[in-house]
Structure 1
Protein backbone atom coordinates (compact mmCIF):
# COMPACT_ATOMS: atom_id res chain seq x y z
CA UNK A 1 0.00 0.00 0.00
CA UNK A 2 1.17 3.52 -0.68
CA UNK A 3 1.46 6.19 2.03
CA UNK A 4 -0.93 8.57 0.23
CA UNK A 5 -3.98 6.32 0.00
CA UNK A 6 -7.54 7.52 0.54
CA UNK A 7 -9.87 5.07 2.33
CA UNK A 8 -12.89 6.31 0.35
CA UNK A 9 -11.26 5.76 -3.03
CA UNK A 10 -11.31 2.61 -5.16
CA UNK A 11 -8.30 1.76 -7.29
CA UNK A 12 -9.09 -0.71 -10.09
CA UNK A 13 -5.89 -2.44 -11.17
CA UNK A 14 -5.70 -4.29 -14.49
CA UNK A 15 -2.56 -6.19 -15.48
CA UNK A 16 -2.38 -6.52 -19.25
CA UNK A 17 -0.04 -8.23 -21.68
CA UNK A 18 -1.10 -8.22 -25.34
CA UNK A 19 -4.80 -7.89 -24.60
CA UNK A 20 -5.86 -5.86 -27.64
CA UNK A 21 -8.75 -8.26 -28.35
CA UNK A 22 -10.19 -7.94 -24.84
CA UNK A 23 -9.16 -4.73 -23.09
CA UNK A 24 -11.73 -2.57 -24.92
CA UNK A 25 -14.69 -4.65 -23.72
CA UNK A 26 -13.25 -4.67 -20.21
CA UNK A 27 -12.93 -0.88 -20.11
CA UNK A 28 -16.37 -0.40 -21.69
CA UNK A 29 -17.89 -2.46 -18.88
CA UNK A 30 -16.19 -0.22 -16.32
CA UNK A 31 -17.50 2.90 -18.01
CA UNK A 32 -21.00 1.39 -17.85
CA UNK A 33 -20.95 0.98 -14.05
CA UNK A 34 -23.91 2.40 -12.20
CA UNK A 35 -23.24 5.62 -10.22
CA UNK A 36 -21.83 5.35 -6.70
CA UNK A 37 -20.23 7.97 -4.43
CA UNK A 38 -16.73 6.56 -3.97
CA UNK A 39 -13.87 8.07 -5.94
CA UNK A 40 -12.42 5.74 -8.56
CA UNK A 41 -9.18 5.47 -10.49
CA UNK A 42 -8.32 2.91 -13.16
CA UNK A 43 -4.73 1.76 -13.60
CA UNK A 44 -3.79 -0.51 -16.48
CA UNK A 45 -0.36 -1.99 -15.88
CA UNK A 46 0.87 -3.01 -19.33
CA UNK A 47 3.77 -5.45 -19.24
CA UNK A 48 5.82 -6.37 -22.31
CA UNK A 49 3.01 -5.53 -24.74
CA UNK A 50 3.87 -5.85 -28.42
CA UNK A 51 0.37 -5.22 -29.78
CA UNK A 52 -2.07 -2.28 -29.59
CA UNK A 53 -3.09 -2.76 -25.95
CA UNK A 54 -1.51 0.47 -24.71
CA UNK A 55 -2.84 2.53 -27.61
CA UNK A 56 -6.36 1.22 -26.98
CA UNK A 57 -6.12 2.13 -23.29
CA UNK A 58 -4.88 5.64 -24.09
CA UNK A 59 -7.89 6.05 -26.37
CA UNK A 60 -10.18 5.68 -23.34
CA UNK A 61 -8.51 8.33 -21.16
CA UNK A 62 -10.82 11.16 -22.23
CA UNK A 63 -13.99 9.11 -21.76
CA UNK A 64 -13.00 8.07 -18.24
CA UNK A 65 -12.02 11.65 -17.42
CA UNK A 66 -15.50 12.79 -18.47
CA UNK A 67 -16.88 10.51 -15.79
CA UNK A 68 -14.40 11.89 -13.25
CA UNK A 69 -12.39 8.66 -13.14
CA UNK A 70 -8.71 9.08 -14.03
CA UNK A 71 -7.33 6.32 -16.23
CA UNK A 72 -3.59 5.70 -16.35
CA UNK A 73 -1.58 3.25 -18.40
CA UNK A 74 1.70 2.19 -16.82
CA UNK A 75 4.06 0.77 -19.43
CA UNK A 76 6.92 -1.60 -18.69
CA UNK A 77 9.03 -3.83 -20.94
CA UNK A 78 9.33 -6.32 -18.08
CA UNK A 79 6.96 -9.31 -18.49
CA UNK A 80 5.09 -10.95 -15.66
CA UNK A 81 1.72 -10.41 -13.98
CA UNK A 82 2.90 -10.17 -10.33
CA UNK A 83 5.38 -7.44 -11.20
CA UNK A 84 2.73 -5.59 -13.19
CA UNK A 85 0.32 -5.70 -10.25
CA UNK A 86 3.03 -4.52 -7.86
CA UNK A 87 3.87 -1.54 -10.06
CA UNK A 88 0.22 -0.53 -10.16
CA UNK A 89 -0.20 -1.10 -6.43
CA UNK A 90 2.71 1.24 -5.74
CA UNK A 91 1.08 3.96 -7.85
CA UNK A 92 -2.49 3.46 -6.60
CA UNK A 93 -4.14 6.01 -4.32
CA UNK A 94 -7.24 4.11 -3.23
CA UNK A 95 -7.58 2.42 0.12
CA UNK A 96 -9.90 -0.06 -1.56
CA UNK A 97 -8.31 -2.17 -4.29
CA UNK A 98 -9.96 -4.18 -7.06
CA UNK A 99 -7.81 -6.48 -9.18
CA UNK A 100 -9.25 -7.23 -12.58
CA UNK A 101 -8.02 -9.37 -15.47
CA UNK A 102 -8.07 -7.60 -18.81
CA UNK A 103 -10.47 -10.14 -20.35
CA UNK A 104 -13.19 -9.70 -17.70
CA UNK A 105 -16.50 -7.98 -18.44
CA UNK A 106 -18.37 -6.61 -15.41
CA UNK A 107 -22.09 -6.12 -14.94
CA UNK A 108 -23.06 -2.46 -14.31
CA UNK A 109 -23.93 -3.09 -10.65
CA UNK A 110 -20.66 -4.84 -9.78
CA UNK A 111 -18.45 -1.98 -8.56
CA UNK A 112 -21.23 -0.24 -6.59
CA UNK A 113 -22.00 -3.49 -4.77
CA UNK A 114 -18.31 -4.18 -4.17
CA UNK A 115 -17.71 -0.73 -2.69
CA UNK A 116 -20.68 -1.04 -0.34
CA UNK A 117 -19.35 -4.38 0.85
CA UNK A 118 -15.85 -3.02 1.44
CA UNK A 119 -17.00 0.00 3.46
CA UNK A 120 -16.13 -1.48 6.84
CA UNK A 121 -13.16 -1.49 9.19
CA UNK A 122 -13.12 -5.31 9.17
CA UNK A 123 -10.83 -7.03 6.65
CA UNK A 124 -13.00 -8.06 3.71
CA UNK A 125 -12.40 -9.88 0.43
CA UNK A 126 -15.19 -9.31 -2.10
CA UNK A 127 -15.97 -10.58 -5.54
CA UNK A 128 -18.96 -10.99 -7.83
CA UNK A 129 -20.70 -14.04 -9.20
CA UNK A 130 -18.37 -15.62 -11.71
CA UNK A 131 -20.00 -16.62 -14.98
CA UNK A 132 -18.20 -18.35 -17.83
CA UNK A 133 -18.60 -16.59 -21.17
CA UNK A 134 -20.15 -18.77 -23.85
CA UNK A 135 -17.32 -20.55 -25.66
CA UNK A 136 -17.06 -21.09 -29.39
CA UNK A 137 -16.03 -24.75 -29.14
CA UNK A 138 -18.44 -27.42 -27.93
CA UNK A 139 -15.71 -29.10 -25.94
CA UNK A 140 -15.09 -25.97 -23.87
CA UNK A 141 -18.82 -25.50 -23.35
CA UNK A 142 -19.06 -29.08 -22.07
CA UNK A 143 -16.06 -28.62 -19.78
CA UNK A 144 -17.46 -25.34 -18.45
CA UNK A 145 -20.85 -26.90 -17.62
CA UNK A 146 -19.19 -29.49 -15.41
CA UNK A 147 -16.68 -27.03 -13.93
CA UNK A 148 -19.46 -24.70 -12.82
CA UNK A 149 -21.08 -27.57 -10.88
CA UNK A 150 -17.99 -28.38 -8.82
CA UNK A 151 -18.22 -27.71 -5.06
CA UNK A 152 -15.75 -24.82 -5.05
CA UNK A 153 -17.83 -23.01 -7.67
CA UNK A 154 -21.09 -23.74 -5.89
CA UNK A 155 -19.59 -22.42 -2.65
CA UNK A 156 -19.24 -18.92 -4.09
CA UNK A 157 -16.67 -16.10 -3.72
CA UNK A 158 -14.32 -17.79 -6.20
CA UNK A 159 -12.73 -14.54 -7.41
CA UNK A 160 -11.00 -15.95 -10.50
CA UNK A 161 -10.30 -12.90 -12.65
CA UNK A 162 -11.82 -10.34 -10.29
CA UNK A 163 -11.44 -9.73 -6.57
CA UNK A 164 -11.35 -6.70 -4.30
CA UNK A 165 -10.23 -5.89 -0.76
CA UNK A 166 -10.58 -2.97 1.61
CA UNK A 167 -7.63 -1.27 3.30
CA UNK A 168 -7.74 -3.61 6.30
CA UNK A 169 -7.78 -6.57 3.94
CA UNK A 170 -4.94 -5.26 1.79
CA UNK A 171 -2.81 -4.97 4.92
CA UNK A 172 -2.85 -8.78 5.18
CA UNK A 173 0.03 -9.12 2.70
CA UNK A 174 2.81 -7.01 1.21
CA UNK A 175 3.97 -7.18 -2.39
CA UNK A 176 2.56 -9.90 -4.60
CA UNK A 177 5.07 -12.76 -4.73
CA UNK A 178 6.26 -14.12 -8.06
CA UNK A 179 3.79 -17.00 -8.19
CA UNK A 180 1.34 -18.44 -10.70
CA UNK A 181 -1.97 -17.99 -8.87
CA UNK A 182 -2.29 -14.47 -7.48
CA UNK A 183 -6.06 -14.80 -7.04
CA UNK A 184 -5.78 -17.96 -4.92
CA UNK A 185 -2.95 -16.42 -2.90
CA UNK A 186 -5.09 -13.41 -1.98
CA UNK A 187 -8.29 -15.38 -1.36
CA UNK A 188 -6.50 -17.64 1.13
CA UNK A 189 -5.48 -14.65 3.23
CA UNK A 190 -9.14 -14.49 4.28
CA UNK A 191 -11.32 -16.93 6.17
CA UNK A 192 -14.52 -18.13 4.49
CA UNK A 193 -16.43 -15.77 6.79
CA UNK A 194 -14.40 -12.81 5.51
CA UNK A 195 -15.05 -13.62 1.85
CA UNK A 196 -18.18 -12.08 0.32
CA UNK A 197 -19.80 -12.73 -3.04
CA UNK A 198 -22.09 -9.91 -4.17
CA UNK A 199 -25.06 -10.54 -6.46
CA UNK A 200 -23.68 -8.74 -9.54
CA UNK A 201 -21.83 -10.88 -12.06
CA UNK A 202 -18.65 -10.74 -14.06
CA UNK A 203 -17.93 -12.76 -17.19
CA UNK A 204 -14.73 -14.78 -17.56
CA UNK A 205 -13.67 -16.49 -20.82
CA UNK A 206 -12.49 -20.09 -20.63
CA UNK A 207 -9.74 -21.53 -22.83
CA UNK A 208 -10.94 -22.79 -26.21
CA UNK A 209 -10.45 -26.40 -27.25
CA UNK A 210 -9.05 -29.52 -25.61
CA UNK A 211 -5.36 -28.68 -26.04
CA UNK A 212 -5.74 -25.23 -24.52
CA UNK A 213 -7.93 -26.49 -21.69
CA UNK A 214 -5.20 -28.98 -20.79
CA UNK A 215 -2.47 -26.32 -20.91
CA UNK A 216 -4.38 -23.87 -18.73
CA UNK A 217 -5.60 -26.52 -16.29
CA UNK A 218 -2.05 -27.83 -15.93
CA UNK A 219 -0.87 -24.36 -15.00
CA UNK A 220 -3.77 -23.83 -12.60
CA UNK A 221 -2.97 -27.08 -10.81
CA UNK A 222 0.69 -26.11 -10.63
CA UNK A 223 -0.35 -22.82 -9.04
CA UNK A 224 -2.24 -24.63 -6.29
CA UNK A 225 0.73 -26.93 -5.63
CA UNK A 226 3.05 -23.92 -5.54
CA UNK A 227 0.98 -22.15 -2.90
CA UNK A 228 0.80 -25.32 -0.78
CA UNK A 229 4.59 -25.57 -0.96
CA UNK A 230 5.45 -21.93 -0.34
CA UNK A 231 2.59 -20.82 1.92
CA UNK A 232 1.23 -23.94 3.66
CA UNK A 233 -0.29 -21.94 6.52
CA UNK A 234 -2.73 -20.31 4.09
CA UNK A 235 -4.42 -23.63 3.34
CA UNK A 236 -6.19 -23.44 6.68
CA UNK A 237 -8.45 -20.77 5.17
CA UNK A 238 -9.53 -22.87 2.19
CA UNK A 239 -12.89 -24.07 3.50
CA UNK A 240 -13.53 -25.91 0.23
CA UNK A 241 -16.19 -28.63 0.19
CA UNK A 242 -15.10 -32.08 -0.97
CA UNK A 243 -16.79 -33.78 -3.90
CA UNK A 244 -16.49 -37.41 -2.79
CA UNK A 245 -17.35 -40.52 -4.77
CA UNK A 246 -21.08 -39.94 -4.48
CA UNK A 247 -20.68 -36.42 -5.82
CA UNK A 248 -18.61 -37.68 -8.74
CA UNK A 249 -21.32 -40.19 -9.64
CA UNK A 250 -24.01 -37.52 -9.46
CA UNK A 251 -22.07 -35.23 -11.78
CA UNK A 252 -21.48 -38.07 -14.26
CA UNK A 253 -25.16 -38.98 -14.27
CA UNK A 254 -26.34 -35.40 -14.63
CA UNK A 255 -24.03 -34.44 -17.50
CA UNK A 256 -22.27 -37.45 -19.10
CA UNK A 257 -20.74 -35.41 -21.94
CA UNK A 258 -19.44 -32.70 -19.65
CA UNK A 259 -18.08 -35.29 -17.24
CA UNK A 260 -16.30 -37.14 -20.05
CA UNK A 261 -14.60 -33.97 -21.27
CA UNK A 262 -13.65 -32.89 -17.75
CA UNK A 263 -12.25 -36.35 -16.97
CA UNK A 264 -10.26 -36.37 -20.23
CA UNK A 265 -8.69 -33.01 -19.38
CA UNK A 266 -7.94 -34.24 -15.85
CA UNK A 267 -6.15 -37.33 -17.15
CA UNK A 268 -4.21 -35.45 -19.84
CA UNK A 269 -3.04 -32.86 -17.31
CA UNK A 270 -1.42 -35.62 -15.31
CA UNK A 271 0.26 -37.14 -18.35
CA UNK A 272 3.19 -34.71 -18.09
CA UNK A 273 4.33 -31.98 -15.66
CA UNK A 274 3.64 -28.28 -16.02
CA UNK A 275 6.16 -26.35 -18.08
CA UNK A 276 7.36 -22.82 -17.47
CA UNK A 277 5.31 -21.12 -20.18
CA UNK A 278 2.40 -18.81 -19.45
CA UNK A 279 -0.81 -20.46 -20.69
CA UNK A 280 -3.87 -18.45 -21.63
CA UNK A 281 -5.29 -20.74 -24.30
CA UNK A 282 -6.06 -18.05 -26.86
Structure 2
Protein backbone atom coordinates (compact mmCIF):
# COMPACT_ATOMS: atom_id res chain seq x y z
CA UNK A 1 0.00 0.00 0.00
CA UNK A 2 0.99 3.63 -0.36
CA UNK A 3 -0.40 7.13 0.13
CA UNK A 4 -0.95 10.24 -1.96
CA UNK A 5 1.98 12.54 -1.28
CA UNK A 6 2.72 16.26 -1.43
CA UNK A 7 6.43 17.04 -1.92
CA UNK A 8 7.35 20.49 -0.61
CA UNK A 9 10.61 22.16 -1.65
CA UNK A 10 11.53 25.55 -0.13
CA UNK A 11 13.94 27.32 -2.48
CA UNK A 12 15.86 30.59 -2.15
CA UNK A 13 18.23 31.47 -5.03
CA UNK A 14 18.80 27.83 -5.91
CA UNK A 15 19.89 28.09 -9.56
CA UNK A 16 22.37 25.27 -10.09
CA UNK A 17 20.78 23.23 -7.32
CA UNK A 18 17.07 23.17 -8.12
CA UNK A 19 17.77 21.56 -11.52
CA UNK A 20 19.43 18.35 -10.23
CA UNK A 21 16.94 18.29 -7.34
CA UNK A 22 13.93 18.25 -9.69
CA UNK A 23 15.64 16.04 -12.27
CA UNK A 24 16.18 13.37 -9.63
CA UNK A 25 12.73 13.79 -8.13
CA UNK A 26 11.00 13.43 -11.49
CA UNK A 27 13.09 10.33 -12.18
CA UNK A 28 11.75 8.66 -9.04
CA UNK A 29 10.16 5.24 -9.13
CA UNK A 30 6.37 5.16 -9.23
CA UNK A 31 4.83 5.47 -5.77
CA UNK A 32 1.60 3.77 -6.79
CA UNK A 33 -0.46 6.81 -5.79
CA UNK A 34 -0.86 10.50 -6.58
CA UNK A 35 2.11 12.87 -6.18
CA UNK A 36 2.28 16.64 -6.33
CA UNK A 37 5.42 18.76 -6.14
CA UNK A 38 5.29 22.32 -4.80
CA UNK A 39 8.36 24.54 -5.07
CA UNK A 40 8.14 27.50 -2.68
CA UNK A 41 10.48 30.07 -4.24
CA UNK A 42 11.01 32.65 -1.52
CA UNK A 43 12.71 36.01 -1.98
CA UNK A 44 14.55 34.80 -5.08
CA UNK A 45 16.57 37.27 -7.12
CA UNK A 46 17.60 34.64 -9.65
CA UNK A 47 15.69 32.36 -12.05
CA UNK A 48 14.79 29.65 -9.49
CA UNK A 49 11.01 30.04 -9.94
CA UNK A 50 11.20 30.20 -13.73
CA UNK A 51 13.42 27.12 -13.93
CA UNK A 52 11.14 25.17 -11.58
CA UNK A 53 8.09 26.03 -13.68
CA UNK A 54 9.90 24.61 -16.68
CA UNK A 55 9.62 21.13 -15.15
CA UNK A 56 5.81 21.20 -14.99
CA UNK A 57 5.47 19.52 -18.38
CA UNK A 58 7.73 16.64 -17.40
CA UNK A 59 5.76 16.19 -14.20
CA UNK A 60 2.51 16.13 -16.13
CA UNK A 61 3.74 13.39 -18.48
CA UNK A 62 4.11 11.05 -15.53
CA UNK A 63 0.78 12.04 -13.99
CA UNK A 64 2.18 14.34 -11.31
CA UNK A 65 1.32 17.96 -10.65
CA UNK A 66 4.08 20.55 -10.21
CA UNK A 67 3.37 24.05 -8.94
CA UNK A 68 5.56 26.99 -8.02
CA UNK A 69 4.61 29.44 -5.28
CA UNK A 70 6.59 32.64 -5.84
CA UNK A 71 6.88 34.46 -2.50
CA UNK A 72 8.35 37.98 -2.45
CA UNK A 73 9.80 37.60 1.04
CA UNK A 74 12.72 35.32 1.81
CA UNK A 75 12.66 32.91 4.73
CA UNK A 76 12.34 29.15 4.97
CA UNK A 77 9.63 29.11 7.64
CA UNK A 78 7.33 31.36 5.62
CA UNK A 79 7.95 29.14 2.60
CA UNK A 80 7.19 25.98 4.58
CA UNK A 81 3.92 27.40 5.87
CA UNK A 82 2.88 28.60 2.41
CA UNK A 83 3.58 25.22 0.84
CA UNK A 84 2.02 23.32 3.71
CA UNK A 85 -1.18 25.36 3.39
CA UNK A 86 -1.33 24.88 -0.38
CA UNK A 87 -0.66 21.13 -0.28
CA UNK A 88 -3.42 18.85 -1.48
CA UNK A 89 -2.51 15.69 0.41
CA UNK A 90 -2.19 14.89 4.09
CA UNK A 91 1.10 13.01 3.76
CA UNK A 92 3.97 15.41 3.09
CA UNK A 93 7.65 15.10 2.21
CA UNK A 94 9.85 18.13 2.86
CA UNK A 95 12.96 18.21 0.67
CA UNK A 96 15.71 20.84 0.59
CA UNK A 97 16.39 22.31 -2.86
CA UNK A 98 20.04 21.19 -2.85
CA UNK A 99 19.20 17.54 -2.14
CA UNK A 100 19.30 14.83 -4.83
CA UNK A 101 17.10 11.83 -4.08
CA UNK A 102 17.76 8.30 -5.31
CA UNK A 103 15.05 6.72 -7.51
CA UNK A 104 13.45 4.49 -4.83
CA UNK A 105 13.33 7.05 -2.00
CA UNK A 106 9.96 8.67 -2.67
CA UNK A 107 8.16 5.35 -3.13
CA UNK A 108 9.68 3.94 0.06
CA UNK A 109 8.64 7.01 2.04
CA UNK A 110 5.09 6.84 0.67
CA UNK A 111 4.85 3.17 1.63
CA UNK A 112 6.04 3.74 5.20
CA UNK A 113 3.62 6.65 5.64
CA UNK A 114 0.63 4.47 4.78
CA UNK A 115 -0.60 4.11 8.35
CA UNK A 116 -3.35 5.52 10.57
CA UNK A 117 -0.77 5.89 13.35
CA UNK A 118 1.48 8.98 13.33
CA UNK A 119 4.68 8.34 11.42
CA UNK A 120 7.84 10.21 10.49
CA UNK A 121 10.23 8.88 7.87
CA UNK A 122 13.48 9.69 6.09
CA UNK A 123 16.12 7.97 4.00
CA UNK A 124 19.86 7.43 4.47
CA UNK A 125 21.86 10.62 3.90
CA UNK A 126 24.92 10.42 1.68
CA UNK A 127 26.94 13.46 2.71
CA UNK A 128 28.81 14.77 -0.33
CA UNK A 129 31.87 17.02 -0.56
CA UNK A 130 32.99 18.60 -3.81
CA UNK A 131 36.70 18.83 -3.01
CA UNK A 132 39.32 17.10 -0.91
CA UNK A 133 40.10 20.01 1.42
CA UNK A 134 39.23 20.81 5.02
CA UNK A 135 35.52 20.08 4.61
CA UNK A 136 36.30 16.59 3.34
CA UNK A 137 38.48 15.82 6.36
CA UNK A 138 35.85 17.24 8.71
CA UNK A 139 33.06 15.30 7.00
CA UNK A 140 34.97 12.03 7.28
CA UNK A 141 34.77 12.31 11.06
CA UNK A 142 31.37 14.05 11.28
CA UNK A 143 29.50 11.25 9.51
CA UNK A 144 30.39 8.98 12.44
CA UNK A 145 28.64 11.03 15.12
CA UNK A 146 25.79 9.20 16.89
CA UNK A 147 23.18 11.56 15.39
CA UNK A 148 23.97 10.10 11.96
CA UNK A 149 24.76 6.50 12.87
CA UNK A 150 21.76 5.88 15.16
CA UNK A 151 18.14 6.86 14.76
CA UNK A 152 16.61 8.82 11.88
CA UNK A 153 18.37 12.20 11.49
CA UNK A 154 16.11 13.51 8.69
CA UNK A 155 18.19 16.54 7.68
CA UNK A 156 17.52 17.57 4.10
CA UNK A 157 14.63 15.11 3.71
CA UNK A 158 11.85 14.22 6.11
CA UNK A 159 8.28 13.07 5.61
CA UNK A 160 5.19 12.74 7.80
CA UNK A 161 1.81 11.16 7.28
CA UNK A 162 -1.51 12.93 7.85
CA UNK A 163 -1.84 11.70 11.44
CA UNK A 164 1.69 12.86 12.20
CA UNK A 165 1.18 16.28 10.64
CA UNK A 166 -1.69 16.92 13.06
CA UNK A 167 0.77 17.09 15.94
CA UNK A 168 1.62 20.74 15.32
CA UNK A 169 0.01 23.75 13.71
CA UNK A 170 1.91 26.28 11.63
CA UNK A 171 5.70 26.03 11.63
CA UNK A 172 7.00 28.39 14.34
CA UNK A 173 9.62 31.04 13.59
CA UNK A 174 12.65 28.95 14.53
CA UNK A 175 15.94 28.03 12.91
CA UNK A 176 15.85 24.24 13.11
CA UNK A 177 12.57 23.18 11.50
CA UNK A 178 13.87 19.63 10.96
CA UNK A 179 14.67 19.20 14.68
CA UNK A 180 11.27 20.62 15.62
CA UNK A 181 9.45 18.15 13.39
CA UNK A 182 11.59 15.13 14.26
CA UNK A 183 11.00 15.60 17.98
CA UNK A 184 7.24 15.65 17.48
CA UNK A 185 7.65 11.87 17.19
CA UNK A 186 8.88 9.29 19.64
CA UNK A 187 11.87 7.20 18.48
CA UNK A 188 9.58 4.25 17.75
CA UNK A 189 7.47 6.46 15.47
CA UNK A 190 10.46 7.51 13.38
CA UNK A 191 11.18 5.20 10.46
CA UNK A 192 14.29 4.94 8.30
CA UNK A 193 13.96 3.59 4.76
CA UNK A 194 16.99 2.09 2.98
CA UNK A 195 16.96 4.43 -0.03
CA UNK A 196 19.62 7.15 -0.02
CA UNK A 197 19.80 10.82 -0.89
CA UNK A 198 22.75 13.15 -1.53
CA UNK A 199 23.13 16.05 0.89
CA UNK A 200 25.99 18.52 0.26
CA UNK A 201 28.32 19.42 3.10
CA UNK A 202 29.19 23.09 3.56
CA UNK A 203 32.47 23.98 1.86
CA UNK A 204 35.28 25.93 3.59
CA UNK A 205 36.24 26.50 7.21
CA UNK A 206 34.48 29.86 7.69
CA UNK A 207 31.14 28.84 6.17
CA UNK A 208 31.32 25.53 8.02
CA UNK A 209 31.74 27.28 11.36
CA UNK A 210 28.92 29.76 10.64
CA UNK A 211 26.44 27.08 9.63
CA UNK A 212 27.39 24.72 12.45
CA UNK A 213 26.94 27.59 14.92
CA UNK A 214 23.52 28.29 13.46
CA UNK A 215 22.57 24.62 13.76
CA UNK A 216 23.67 24.47 17.39
CA UNK A 217 21.68 27.61 18.16
CA UNK A 218 18.68 26.12 16.37
CA UNK A 219 18.73 22.93 18.43
CA UNK A 220 19.13 24.92 21.66
CA UNK A 221 16.23 27.13 20.59
CA UNK A 222 13.93 24.14 20.14
CA UNK A 223 15.00 22.74 23.50
CA UNK A 224 14.29 26.08 25.24
CA UNK A 225 11.00 26.90 23.51
CA UNK A 226 9.56 23.37 23.40
CA UNK A 227 11.04 21.54 26.41
CA UNK A 228 8.37 18.81 26.34
CA UNK A 229 9.62 17.71 22.92
CA UNK A 230 13.07 16.92 24.29
CA UNK A 231 11.68 13.74 25.86
CA UNK A 232 11.64 12.35 22.30
CA UNK A 233 15.38 12.90 21.85
CA UNK A 234 17.30 9.71 21.02
CA UNK A 235 18.95 8.07 24.03
CA UNK A 236 22.62 7.05 23.66
CA UNK A 237 22.89 3.73 21.86
CA UNK A 238 24.52 0.87 23.80
CA UNK A 239 26.80 0.05 20.84
CA UNK A 240 27.88 3.65 20.32
CA UNK A 241 31.61 3.92 19.61
CA UNK A 242 33.30 6.20 22.19
CA UNK A 243 34.64 9.50 20.89
CA UNK A 244 38.18 8.74 22.07
CA UNK A 245 38.26 5.51 20.08
CA UNK A 246 37.09 7.26 16.93
CA UNK A 247 39.71 9.96 17.52
CA UNK A 248 42.44 7.31 17.69
CA UNK A 249 41.23 5.80 14.42
CA UNK A 250 41.19 9.15 12.61
CA UNK A 251 43.28 11.78 14.46
CA UNK A 252 43.28 14.23 11.53
CA UNK A 253 39.51 14.03 11.14
CA UNK A 254 39.08 14.47 14.89
CA UNK A 255 41.36 17.52 14.84
CA UNK A 256 39.23 19.14 12.11
CA UNK A 257 36.06 18.28 14.01
CA UNK A 258 37.46 19.68 17.27
CA UNK A 259 38.69 22.91 15.68
CA UNK A 260 35.24 23.60 14.23
CA UNK A 261 33.57 22.73 17.55
CA UNK A 262 35.83 25.21 19.37
CA UNK A 263 35.36 27.94 16.75
CA UNK A 264 31.58 27.53 16.95
CA UNK A 265 31.71 28.50 20.62
CA UNK A 266 33.48 31.80 19.96
CA UNK A 267 31.07 34.77 20.17
CA UNK A 268 30.13 36.41 16.88
CA UNK A 269 27.83 39.35 17.66
CA UNK A 270 25.57 40.44 14.83
CA UNK A 271 26.12 37.32 12.75
CA UNK A 272 23.30 36.55 10.37
CA UNK A 273 20.69 34.28 11.96
CA UNK A 274 20.06 32.50 8.68
CA UNK A 275 23.72 31.94 7.76
CA UNK A 276 24.17 29.69 4.74
CA UNK A 277 27.14 27.68 3.58
CA UNK A 278 27.04 28.84 -0.03
TM-score (norm 2): 0.95
* Counterpart Cα distance in 1 of 2:170 and 2:210: 27
Q: Which residue of 2 aligns with 1:111?
A: 106
Q: Which residue of 1 aligns with 2:28?
A: 33
Local SS of the residue matching 2:155: coil
Q: Which residue of 2 aligns with 1:281?
A: 277
Superimposed CA distance per residue, residues 214-238 of structure 1 (whole angstroms, 9 cap, x where no aligned partner): 0000000000111111101100000
Answer yes or no: is 1:232 the counterpart of 2:227: yes
Q: Which residue of 2 aligns with 1:255?
A: 250
Q: Which runs of 4+ in 1 moved over 6 A?
A: none
Q: Which residue of 2 aligns with 1:129?
A: 124
Answer yes or no: is 1:84 the counterpart of 2:108: no
Superimposed CA distance per residue, residues 133-182 of structure 1 (whole angstroms, 9 cap, x where no aligned partner): 13324211111111110111110311001000000000011100010000
The within-5 A match list for 1:57-96 is 57-96=52-91
**Which consecutive residues of structure 1, in runs of 5 or more, have no partner in the other structure?**
1-6
Q: Which residue of 2 aligns with 1:173?
A: 168
* Counterpart Cα distance in 2 of 1:199 and 1:228: 29
- The answer as to whether partners of 2:151 and 2:234 remain within 8 angstroms in 1 is no
- Give the total of aligned pairs: 275
**Which consecutive residues of structure 2, in runs of 5 or more, have no partner in the other structure?**
none
- The answer as to whether partners of 1:47 and 1:84 remain within 8 angstroms in 2 is yes
Answer yes or no: is 1:16 the counterpart of 2:4: no
* Counterpart Cα distance in 2 of 1:174 and 1:277: 23
Q: Which residue of 1 aligns with 2:41?
A: 46
* Counterpart Cα distance in 2 of 1:220 and 1:51: 26
Answer yes or no: is 1:100 the counterpart of 2:91: no
